[in-house]
A and B are shown apart, each in its own frame.
Chain A
Amino acid sequence: EDKVVQSPLSLVVHEGDTVTLNCSYEVTNFRSLLWYKQEKKAPTFLFMLTSSGIEKKSGRLSSILDKKELFSILNITATQTGDSAIYLCAGSNNAGNMLTFGGGTRLMVKP
């Protein structure tokens, strides 16, 4: 059975701190790893990673995939209170039809 595990479960930091969120996966016929941000309602897409070692970056957020060690990290630099959310990662298989979601990391950024 496919499995995605995220750590830590929750994290409290202060504005300006840098955080690293972890995601390990066991997905049969793995193809891609996706990161989402979920605030009060629905998850919004952040990144999709398919290649090992290539960093994807969007503003203060960046992510990288290690297909040998089966994990990904999401980095957020200079955190702001608006970064407070649950961050979800999900693995996709090569059929691309299903996502296996992790349990999420709840990030709280204090002023």
Chain B
Amino acid sequence: EADIYQTPRYLVIGTGKKITLECSQTMGHDKMYWYQQDPGMELHLIHYSYGVNSTEKGDLSSESTVSRIRTEHFPLTLESARPSHTSQYLCASSPPAGGPRTDTQYFGPGTRLTVL
């Protein structure tokens, strides 16, 4: 199993603030993902990365940005938070191609964001 960490776990912040949600994994996984999930709703992919210096937007349009300067670290930034950004943000990673679990994504504990 992957060790994948997200901080903070909970965040309540005012409109207009800049925030960064942290995600780190210690398994050397090359692929990393950010999902947004509202309570009881589907997972929506918002960003992904296949490796260092690789970032792509996902299926769901998002005002957030990501960076991948190090393999283990994939932070997500909102330049100006709005109440519509209130949601749970889940980070995931998966192993390199060729292994038995290459398709499996392992999820972090999530960050529950509330923007007032």
Contact = CB atoms under 8 A, between A and B. Distances in A.
Q: Are both chains from one complex?
A: yes
Interface of A: 31-32, 34, 36, 41-45, 48, 86, 88, 90, 92, 96-99, 101-104, 106
Interface stretch (B14-22, B65-73, B103-111): B103-111
B97 A45 contact: no
B107 A96 contact: no
Contacts of A86: 40
Contacts of B48: 97-98
A99 B102 CA distance: 11
A42 B104 contact: no
Given A88-B43, A101-B42, A43 B101 contact: no
B40 A32 contact: no
Nearest to A50: B103
A41 B110 contact: yes
A27 to B, nearest CB: 11
A48 B101 contact: yes
Interface string B24-50: 000000010000000010110100101
Interface in B69-108: 90, 94, 97, 101-108
B107 A92 contact: no
B101 A101 contact: no
Nearest to B91: A42
A42 B43 contact: no
B103 A45 contact: no
List the 7 closest pairs (A to B, CB-CB), nearest first. A42-B107, A92-B103, A32-B103, A96-B103, A101-B43, A96-B102, A103-B42
B57 to A, nearest CB: 13
